[in-house]
């Protein structure tokens, strides 16, 4: 993904300054754990028996056997697993919505712009209420970090954004001199 900015330079994902991998979005510790899918519940119930019967079997073989058992299930049994999964998922979604609604009503307002940030790279807020990285061209969720003020998704984006802001400042200074 390449983004053209006002300095006529192209920033791409490949011109990053280090080989460090971007940080993963952290899970919210307040939210409950997502419920298991119907297949995963079936797998957890049956893989133990298969391993007891054949302790020499590796994980791939166990997965293959459970997958075969799942595909051979009769319609009623499979529906029972899926109905239970759907009920748990609905309850989980309602709980998450309740927690997020309570958090947004009591949370401080989210900062939407940084002074040194160009207008095209303002902080974006997703419909889910999460803040995305402010670096031009990056739409990843920002990572909680006190040093970054929760505005970036990785160290790479911090460096690239600072480089961009510095180049814009130098360009502005040189145009004032000329």
Decide if pLDDT at 107 tops 60: no
List, for residues 44-78, the tens digit of each pLDDT value.
999 989 989 988 999 999 999 999 999 999 999 99
Please give the pLDDT value at position 11. 46
Q: What stretch of H or E contains 161?
A: helix 155-177
The answer to whether 109 touches 127, Cβ cutoff 8 Å, is no
Please give the pLDDT value at position 114. 41
Decide if pLDDT at 167 tops 70: yes
Enter the tokens of residue 102: 């309570």
Residue 122 CA neighbour count, 13 Å, CB half: 9
CB-CB neighbours of 153 under 10 Å: 24
Determine the average pLDDT of the residues in 153-161: 79
> What Rg value do the Cα atoms of the chain yield, rounded?
24
Decide if pLDDT at 155 tops 60: yes
Decide if pLDDT at 17 tops 90: no
Determine the average pLDDT of the residues in 122-148: 68
Give the whole-angstrom CA distance, residue 94 versus residue 86: 12
The answer to whether 116 touches 109, Cβ cutoff 8 Å, is no
Alpha helical stretches, state H, 54-146? 59-71, 75-106
Please give the pLDDT value at position 149. 64
Three-state SS for 3? strand
pTM: 0.45
Please give the pLDDT value at position 24. 56
Determine the average pLDDT of the residues in 32-51: 90
Q: Which residue has the higher pLDDT, 113 or 48?
A: 48
């Amino acid at each position: 993904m390449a983004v053209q900015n006002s300095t006529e330079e192209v920033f791409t994902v490949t011109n990053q300054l280090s080989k460090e991998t971007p940080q993963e979005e952290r899970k919210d510790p307040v939210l409950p754990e997502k419920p298991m899918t119907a297949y995963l519940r079936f797998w957890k119930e049956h893989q133990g028996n298969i391993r007891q019967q054949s302790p020499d079997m590796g994980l791939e073989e166990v997965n293959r056997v459970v997958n075969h058992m799942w595909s051979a299930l009769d319609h009623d049994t499979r529906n029972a697993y899926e109905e239970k999964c759907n009920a748990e998922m609905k309850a989980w979604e309602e709980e998450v919505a309740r927690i997020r609604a309570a958090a947004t009503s009591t949370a401080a307002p989210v900062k939407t712009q940084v002074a040194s940030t160009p207008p095209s790279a303002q902080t974006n807020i997703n419909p889910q209420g999460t803040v995305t990285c402010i670096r031009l061209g990056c739409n990843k969720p920002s990572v909680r970090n006190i040093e970054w003020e929760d505005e970036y998704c990785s160290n790479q984006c911090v460096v690239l954004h600072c480089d961009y802001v510095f180049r814009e400042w130098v360009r502005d200074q040189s145009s004032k001199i000329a």
